[in-house]
Structure 1
Amino acid sequence: MANIKELSVEEKLRALYDLQLIDSRIDEIRNVRGELPLEVEDLEDEVAGLSTRLDKLKGDLDTIEEQIKEKKNAIEGHKESIKKYSNQQKEVRNNREFNALTKEVEFQELEIQLAEKHIKEMKASIEHKKVVLGETKEKLDAKQNHLKHKKAELSAIMSETEKEENFLSGKSDEFRGQIEERLLGAYDRIRTSVRNGLAVVSIERGASAGSFFTIPPQTQMEIASRKKIITDEHSGRILVDSALADEEKDKIQQLFAKL
């Protein structure tokens, strides 16, 4: 900031008030957009989350179908084993071998029953997942549709205001470049601490704009003399006289009119 030209107090006040007018206009533009950018961002996150869930459900269904296929193949294998052991029973020479084969047959039958139970459970799981998948798909379609409308709404506002905002942001930077670091720091601190973002205000009907607290006549005279930077003791805002404010408003309005 060493290269900044040394301004008189009046010039500093004018530069600060001009910066305030420009920044307030940028605030207005951004308020028109409101929460839309955040809404769009949240909807995009929801759509991404639902899409991921949908893909997972589809993957789960494919996995279960594959598992059912494996169980059915296993059942066929167990049936072949039963046939083999039954045929062997016809050729045994003693009860011990016959009983051993009978146990093998019983074991294979139990394996078939278990596999069929698992298949039944997996089919029930498939039906449940299909219901969830349908609900998720409906929700995703609704969110995608909502997102499409919100994006169109945001795009329309952006196309109307983007040129003006970019121009004003450039002008804001330009005015900021004229103001010393200490004053700029104070301006930014006040702007972020007050609800309406007004760090520099004019005197209106004996009080600072937006305030009900009357400013003593002596202080009003000091403000009008433009010899030093004076702040409102109640809000901390930088104060300028109404004549200076009107002059700068006219100047900045001409700047806005160029857009």
Structure 2
Amino acid sequence: MATKTEATVEEKLRALYDLQLIDSRVDEIRNVRGELPLEVEDLEDEVLGLKTRLDKLKTDVETINFEITAKKNLIDEAKVLIKKYAEQQKNVRNSREFNSLTKEVEFQELEIQLAEKNIKEFKAQIEQKKEIISSTKERLSERDSHLKHKKSELNNILAETEKEEIALLKKSEEFQTQIEDRLVKAYKRIRNNVKNGLAVVPIERGASGGSFFTIPPQVQVEIASRKKIISDEHSGRILVDPVLAEEEQEKMQAYFSKL
């Protein structure tokens, strides 16, 4: 292809339309992937969150079990003291000592009652947390399975399309170097301003491709002559004639099929 300064208008139009076909193919590839990468990322975050929650719940249960053990030890110690005070009551010399020991026994009995109440409450907490652990495990298993499926789906699509996308992006850059900067900038600006990314379109049934606005016959003749670059006054898209478009489509399709 001729250099930028030597390129004819027709060569510029062909290069622009080829660039459009390449970039549209990249758009198609990315549309196939769609929201999958974001879905995978969201699922990974959700799975990590569930694992963190599960670890915390398990730690909570361990802590409560430790508390239960401590309360059981307290009960055992209280029983030993009650037995000790009961023995001492047999050898008291006066009622004051007896009453003092009786109060100690009553205090230890209250300690036992409180500890038993605490143990009951702790066990209820454990049962509650076990239920949450069970439901969290189910949720984690389901989301983890879904994540593996989505990852596999994404990896398959990437394996099929990544090589082609890289080759196309490289080709797109090559074409951009063959087109003068002002046209490349105009092309990118139009692509960013239209929903489907089509900046260069052929005339279809007397109208701009994808548009219902009819192009006057005289303008169609000018476009077909390929003597100057003409834009659609309604959308701003660069227009090419159907024959040129068909020729470039066939050429680029042959290129795509080799990727």
Please report how far the alpha carbon of residue 82 of structure 1 lies from its aligned counterpart in structure 2 after TM superposition: 2.1
Please report how far the alpha carbon of residue 181 of structure 1 lies from its aligned counterpart in structure 2 after TM superposition: 3.7
For residues 8-65 of structure 1, the C-alpha deviation after alignment (integer angstroms, 9 at most, x for no partner) is: 4433322221111011111112222232222222222222121112212211111111
State the distance in 2 between where 1:73 and 1:115 align: 10
State the distance in 1 between where 2:137 and 2:50 align: 8
For residues 79-101 of structure 1, the C-alpha deviation after alignment (integer angstroms, 9 at most, x for no partner) is: 22222333333333333333233
State the distance in 2 between where 1:184 and 1:57 align: 58
Please report how far the alpha carbon of residue 102 of structure 1 lies from its aligned counterpart in structure 2 after TM superposition: 2.2
For residues 154-189 of structure 1, the C-alpha deviation after alignment (integer angstroms, 9 at most, x for no partner) is: 222222222222211211121123334433333223
> Structure 1 pair 106/199, CA: closer, same or farther in 2 (3 Å)?
same
State the distance in 1 between where 2:106 and 2:116 align: 15
> Structure 1 pair 212/88, CA: closer, same or farther in 2 (3 Å)?
same
Q: Residue 102 of structure 2 corresponds to which residue in structure 1?
A: 102
Q: Residue 72 of structure 1 corresponds to which residue in structure 2?
A: 72
Q: TM-score, normalised by structure 1?
A: 0.89
Q: Residue 252 of structure 1 corresponds to which residue in structure 2?
A: 252
Q: Residue 177 of structure 2 corresponds to which residue in structure 1?
A: 177
Q: Residue 142 of structure 1 corresponds to which residue in structure 2?
A: 142
Amino acid at match of 1:160: E
Amino acid at match of 1:198: L
State the distance in 2 between where 1:45 and 1:109 align: 51
Q: Which moved more, 1:239-248 or 1:113-122?
A: 239-248
Amino acid at match of 1:142: E
Are residue 15 (structure 1) and residue 15 (structure 2) matched?
yes
Q: Residue 235 of structure 1 corresponds to which residue in structure 2?
A: 235
> Structure 1 pair 182/67, CA: closer, same or farther in 2 (3 Å)?
farther
> Structure 1 pair 188/86, CA: closer, same or farther in 2 (3 Å)?
farther
State the distance in 2 between where 1:140 and 1:235 align: 50
- Partner-residue secondary structure (3-state), 2:231: coil
For residues 112-133 of structure 1, the C-alpha deviation after alignment (integer angstroms, 9 at most, x for no partner) is: 1111111111111111111111
Structure 2 unaligned segments of length 5 or more: list them: none
State the distance in 2 between where 1:91 and 1:180 align: 113
Identical pairs, percent = 71
> Structure 1 pair 87/220, CA: closer, same or farther in 2 (3 Å)?
same
State the distance in 2 between where 1:30 and 1:115 align: 64
Amino acid at match of 1:56: K
- Partner-residue secondary structure (3-state), 1:106: helix
Q: Which moved more, 1:5-14 or 1:125-134?
A: 5-14
Q: How do 1:37-48 and structure 2 match up within 5 A?
A: 37-48=37-48
Q: TM-score, normalised by structure 2?
A: 0.89
Q: How do 1:44-59 and structure 2 match up within 5 A?
A: 44-59=44-59
State the distance in 2 between where 1:214 and 1:182 align: 27
State the distance in 2 between where 1:28 and 1:50 align: 35
- Partner-residue secondary structure (3-state), 2:114: helix
Aligned Cα root-mean-square deviation (Å): 2.1
